[in-house]
Amino acid sequence: MAGDYPKVERVMGGPAGWVSILFPAILFTYFLNLLPEVVEGPVTAGFDWVPALGVQMSVLLDGLSMMFALLITGIGTAVTLYSCHYLGDHPHYPRFVCYLLMFMVGMLGLVLANDLIALFVFWEVTTISSYLLIGFNADQASSRRSALQALLVTGAGGLILLAGLIVLGSIAGTFRISEILTQGDMIRAHPAYGAILILFLAGAFTKSAQVPFHFWLPNAMAAPTPVSAYLHSATMVKAGVFLMARMNPVLGGTDAWFWILILFGGVTAVFASVMSMRQTDIKQVLAYTTLMALGTLTMFIGAGTHYAIMAGMLFLLVHSLYKAALFLMIGIVDHSTGTRDATVLRGLSKAMPLTGIAAALAALSMAGIPPLLGFVGKEYMYKAGMDLPGLGAIWVTLMTFAASALMFAAGGIVAWRPFRGELAETPHHAHEGSWPMLAGPLVLGALSLIFGLFPGIPGHFLIGPATNAVEGAVHEVHLHLWGGINMALFLSILTFIAGWLLYRNHEGIRARLAAFEARSPIDFDAGWDRLLDGFKDFAGWLTGIVQNGNLQRYLAVTFTTFAVLVGGTYLVRGAFEVGPRLIQLGAHPVQWSVLLLMIAGSFLVVSTTSRMTAVAGLGVVSVGVAMVFIMFSAPDVAITQLLVEVLIIVLVTLVMLRLPYLPPRSELHFRFGHAIIATSVGAVVTLVLIAMLSGPFDRKLTDYFEQTAYPEAHGRNIVNVILVDFRALDTFGEITVVAIAAIGALALLRGIKTRNTGNQNGSEEA
Amino acid sequence: MQSLILTTATRLLVALLLVFSVYALLRGHNLPGGGFIGGLIGATAFILYAIAASVDEARAALLVDPSNIAVAGLGAAAIGGLASVLAGKPFLTGLWLFLGASEGGKGLPLSTVLIFDTGVYLAVFGGILTLVFALEEET
Amino acid sequence: MELLLAITTGVLTAVAVYLMLSKNLLRYLWGLVLLSNAVNFVIFLGGRLTPGAPPLIDEGDYAPAGEVANALPQALVLTAIVISFGLMAFALALIYRTYMTLGTVTSTEMRIAEPRPRKPESDE
């Protein structure tokens, strides 16, 4: 894909590359140094972020966040090192580095946050940056579609999660996670527990791609391979798992939690494993195995016993190590041979032996073969599954068995078969990868082996503290490679046999699955498209109704809303009142005549078909208005009104002569509906005015202006003092509006005459 | 519209209206008047001139393009307001200087408020003339 | 008188709204002018009516002697008048320009952005 762009000469990706490698490497070292301290107990620190909202940028570093932080920075280092070679000559490589580091920071912030709101912010940072990363090859439509899909699914989940966070925070009385973690009993007994649980799980399940929200994850393969490696192993999809693990002391331990998680997790795990058999693209096979891992993790977090949590945490580590290695390995293969088709690739170990070793280590761990860490993980999962009470034990054990067997087969498809046998023809001639690309997979594969041989190391430093953090209790954890001859070992052997059979027959299974899929009515991806299309159609339909481009309808809706809302509110509140002062209709005959004149003028405007008569009617009304101002002691206003009236008449007359005549009386229908709207608005205005005039009058501002106008502002005309001194900022805004209106009108009118000389020959005489 | 009466009367009226508009502006702080009213009166004077003679002649008499006057008015108002910022007071606070103040009277008052009001006058005057001239010329 | 002016304001508003609902933009514009007058009355009435006492301070006094009209709504209305003039003039320029470009002042016939579909069902 990078070949489409002009090559840019950069050594190791240039400065962007070095920064991107050093950043996670330094952080990794830093966290590694803190490890002994965290093994003893959680560390918290922080400062106020948004004090007004009580949001704190505080850090909670316990076993769980430590394990995540190490995975994020450690695998991050491998991924950045890898991508400086994989994408280093891509013209947008620096942009890629920005996205990747932003993603890393978001993920780190998420796992370290000790504040629910901060957690949410970082959660969304990962959503947005994953969108940018998945859509990195933005010139491909499929890439953009996948990115948008991931954004919408995880973004929607994030919003639901926010609601859950807010409810949880308000019940607990604090948004600080370390304080909420101690209030588990109170929250589980709270009536809102069910709501919180569903809101949280909606967020976690979308992020961690549980069925039925799983479809975005295989599509996210559109991202460059190192991004896939990162998204699938240590980050993004693990964010949902992290959330469930983090909230386990608060939300976990109930029947609802138990059954929802083990059912969704189990179904996801098995469904995904089966789907992985269907794929031919080895990257897609791996994508589905990630779903399987996520389902398994969800299941074990839901199971909630000490053994289950420990098995879950162990499997988290196992999966991160082998998944990152495998993805990076696939990237090398793809880079080197130009294909990822499982049906084509054969005999690569001859051309690329080191890649083969890394792949073999990772795949053995994935298949759960001793002495790799994957074997230890599988043993503990079986033990934990059988340890559960009642039906749960059967379900979890069965699901684990099915998923593990299928995983064994998938491991074979991805990392065994392509390297065995005779070297097959590929688009490019296969050759070994460069050291920056090989370093990550080799180290990660080696870790799977070392940790498998000495499981006490990860047990003491990572799994134990993480398990304690998730459980909210303190247990000593000892991991063993060899657990003796027991039921778990027996199940492991059965798994290998089943897995081997599946692997031998995987081509037949794939064909059957493909045929089944073709007939299956359920297609999540197509369903997603239909959902989006439905949204678009709905939006189009709604816009067509609300914004149909008809000015009349807009105004009718606006005025009706005004009349109904304002009038309705007054009516419901019983606010319409007529004060005793208002009852007397007494007015001077001059006043009566002015008012009647205005009403007559307005009726003239409405009823005439002559433009000039209408303008005259407007003039009558305006003069009446000015006279009212004069009668009631507003000389400044009256003068302004009269002057503006003169200007309006001049302007309207100037323009009117060049505009078409009004429609003749025969076309001037009386619109009954419009009249009703108009009358209601008028009536509401009058009633509101009467209610207002009946109420008491607050003279505070007026008194202030009257008392200070001369002593402080040195003016005897209070109106003018208000305009240019007390409220001068308003006036400043208003003259700005006048100037803008003038300039806007000038821009509208300029050049009309020269353009329209052909069709306009209206009289120049005004 | 060439009317001898109008043309003749206009010459007198325009001058009168302009003088009156400045008068309205200056007395505005103590008696009815002020920048808005003064600007409107001044604009009316030139519109009358434009109708009686022609827009071109009115423009010529005005010397400056009315849209420039409007923007200059905004500038003057802003300066009037910013003066108080330089004096360490909030934007648009009035600053006063009374020339020849004595026991009995305040003397001749000069103020940033007057600058501001002059800005209002110019903005209204220029803005309205821009509008009217545009509608008259371009239509 | 306040009651009478309130009723007058209501009538002016009703007429203005009726005019603004017209599809002829000239009638719409007149409605706009009438509506701004009515709104000015609403503001003015909000400060109550005081006949025969403009808000001026007599020479020699430091505050108005006796009750004078409320100055605040007057200041608001004064600027509102000038603003509504600006609005009216701009609307007028807009209508004129529209007429020059589209050849109509009937709002329902202005469909340059969304041309009327030839047949209702061929909406795609």
Q: What is the number of other CB atoms lying within 10 angstroms of the CB of residue A679?
A: 18
Question: pLDDT tens digit string along A477-521?
Answer: 777 777 777 888 888 888 888 888 888 888 888 888 888 877 777
Cα→Cα distances A275→A267, A291, A403, A423, Å: 12, 10, 11, 28
Which of B1, B71, B131, B132 to probe the A interface (max A CBs under 10 A)?
A: B131
Do residues A302 and A396 touch, judged by C-beta distance below 8 A? Answer: no
What mean pLDDT is predicted for residues C116-123? 52
**Bridge pairing between strands A55-61 and B96-99:** unpaired
Q: CB B139 to CB A714 under 8 A?
A: no
A35 pLDDT band (50/70/90 cuts)? confident
Nearest CB neighbour to A735, from listed B41, B77, B138: B77
Instruction: List the one residue out of A597, A688, A579, A589 whose CA is nearest residue C10.
Output: A688
Residue length of chain A: 766
pLDDT on residue A50: 64
Query: Residue A126 pLDDT more than 90?
Result: yes
Q: What is the number of other CB atoms lying within 10 angstroms of the CB of residue A64?
A: 25
User: For a pLDDT cut of 70, what percent of chain A falls above it?
Assistant: 93
Long-range contacts made by residues B81-86, C-beta under 8 angstroms, separation at least 24? Answer: B81/A728, B81/A729, B81/A732, B81/B112, B81/B116, B83/B112, B83/B115, B84/B112
- The Cβ-side half-sphere exposure at A593, using a 13 Å CA radius, reads 3
| Residue B83 Cα, gap to closest chain A Cα (Å) | 13
Burial (CB count within 10 angstroms: exposed 0-12, middle 13-18, buried 19+), residue A644: buried
| Residue C93 Cα, gap to closest chain B Cα (Å) | 7
- The Cβ-side half-sphere exposure at C24, using a 13 Å CA radius, reads 18
Question: pLDDT tens digit string along A587-629?
Answer: 788 888 889 999 999 999 888 888 888 889 999 999 999 999 9
Burial (CB count within 10 angstroms: exposed 0-12, middle 13-18, buried 19+), residue A498: middle
- For the ranges A4-18, A51-65, A72-86, A210-224, the lowest mean pLDDT is seen at A4-18
> Which chain A residue's Cα is nearest to B37?
A640
Q: What is the mean pLDDT of chain B?
A: 83
3-state secondary structure (DSSP) of residue C24: strand
| Residue B98 Cα, gap to closest chain A Cα (Å) | 10
C57 pLDDT band (50/70/90 cuts)? confident
Q: CB B131 to CB C79 under 8 A?
A: no
Do residues A722 and A705 touch, judged by C-beta distance below 8 A? Answer: yes
| Residue B115 Cα, gap to closest chain A Cα (Å) | 10
| Residue B120 Cα, gap to closest chain A Cα (Å) | 6
Spell out which residues of chain B touch residue C89, defining contact as CB-CB under 8 Å: 128, 131-132, 135
d(CA A453, CA A448): 9
C97 pLDDT band (50/70/90 cuts)? confident
Q: CB C56 to CB B36 under 8 A?
A: no
Q: How many helices (H) and strands (E) does chain B have?
A: 5, 2
Scored b (16 or more CB within 10 A) or e, A681-691 reads bbbbbbbbbbb
**Which one of 1.10.8.80, 1.10.287.3510, 1.10.3470.10, 1.10.1060.10 gives the CATH number of domain C2-49+69-109?**
1.10.287.3510
Cα→Cα distances C26→A301, A397, A482, A649, C98, Å: 71, 79, 92, 14, 12
Spell out which residues of chain B touch residue C79, defining contact as CB-CB under 8 Å: 36
3-state secondary structure (DSSP) of residue A48: strand
Peptide bond into A589 cis (omega under 30): no
pLDDT on residue A115: 87
3-state secondary structure (DSSP) of residue C29: helix
Cα→Cα distances A714→A18, A711, B77, Å: 69, 6, 19
d(CA A92, CA A136): 9
Query: Residue A581 pLDDT more than 80?
Result: no
Do residues A598 and C38 touch, judged by C-beta distance below 8 A? Answer: no
d(CA A298, CA A210): 9
User: For a pLDDT cut of 90, what percent of chain C falls above it?
Assistant: 25
Q: CB B32 to CB C92 under 8 A?
A: no
Do residues C79 and A734 touch, judged by C-beta distance below 8 A? Answer: yes
Burial (CB count within 10 angstroms: exposed 0-12, middle 13-18, buried 19+), residue A432: middle
Nearest CB neighbour to B134, from listed C78, C82, C93: C93
Q: Where are the alpha helices (DSSP H) in A368-461?
A: 373-387, 390-411, 435-453, 456-458
Q: CB A714 to CB B106 under 8 A?
A: yes
3-state secondary structure (DSSP) of residue A455: coil
Q: CB A742 to CB B28 under 8 A?
A: no
Domain boundaries, chain C: 2-49+69-109
3-state secondary structure (DSSP) of residue C110: coil
Interface of C with A in 40-59 (CB under 8 A): 40-42, 44-59
C41 pLDDT band (50/70/90 cuts)? very high
Tokens of A148: 């948008």
Do residues B68 and B76 touch, judged by C-beta distance below 8 A? Answer: no
Cα→Cα distances A45→A60, A440, A471, A476, B72, Å: 7, 32, 22, 26, 56
pLDDT on residue A165: 93
Residue B43 sits at the chain A interface (C-beta within 8 Å): yes
Cα→Cα distances A586→A197, A243, A549, B40, C3, Å: 68, 74, 47, 36, 9
Interface of A with C in 641-700 (CB under 8 A): 641, 644, 647-648, 651-652, 655-656, 658-660, 662-663, 671, 674-675, 677-679, 681-683, 685-687, 689-690, 692-693, 697, 699
Do residues C50 and C67 touch, judged by C-beta distance below 8 A? Answer: yes
Question: pLDDT tens digit string along A525-569?
Answer: 788 888 889 988 998 888 877 777 778 888 898 999 999 999 888
A47 pLDDT band (50/70/90 cuts)? low
> Which chain C residue's Cα is nearest to A626?
C37
Spell out which residues of chain B touch residue A753, defining contact as CB-CB under 8 Å: 137-139
In the block, which residue shows the tokens 């994020």?
A: A72
A52 pLDDT band (50/70/90 cuts)? low
pLDDT on residue A683: 92
Do residues A225 and A331 touch, judged by C-beta distance below 8 A? Answer: yes
DSSP state of C56: B
* Beta-strand runs (E) in B1-139: 96-99, 108-111
Instruction: List the one residue out of A328, A427, A360 whose CA is nearest residue A86.
Output: A328
Which of B30, B67, B131, B136 to probe the C interface (max C CBs under 10 A)?
A: B131
d(CA A423, CA A512): 28
Q: CB A550 to CB C107 under 8 A?
A: yes
Q: Which chains touch B (3 or more CB pairs under 8 A)?
A: A, C
Spell out which residues of chain C touch residue A718, defining contact as CB-CB under 8 Å: 55-57, 64, 68, 71
How far does chain B reach from its first CA to its final CA, in angstroms? 16
3-state secondary structure (DSSP) of residue A717: strand
Task: With 0.90 as the threshold, say if the pTM is over it.
Answer: no
Spell out which residues of chain A touch residue C38, defining contact as CB-CB under 8 Å: 685
In the block, which residue shows the tokens 């059912």?
A: A263
pLDDT on residue A599: 92
Do residues C32 and C87 touch, judged by C-beta distance below 8 A? Answer: yes
Spell out which residues of chain C touch residue A636, defining contact as CB-CB under 8 Å: 74, 78
Tell me how far apart the 2 most distant CA atoms of chain C are, in Å.
Answer: 79
**Bridge pairing between strands B108-111 and B96-99:** antiparallel
Tokens of A347: 């005999």
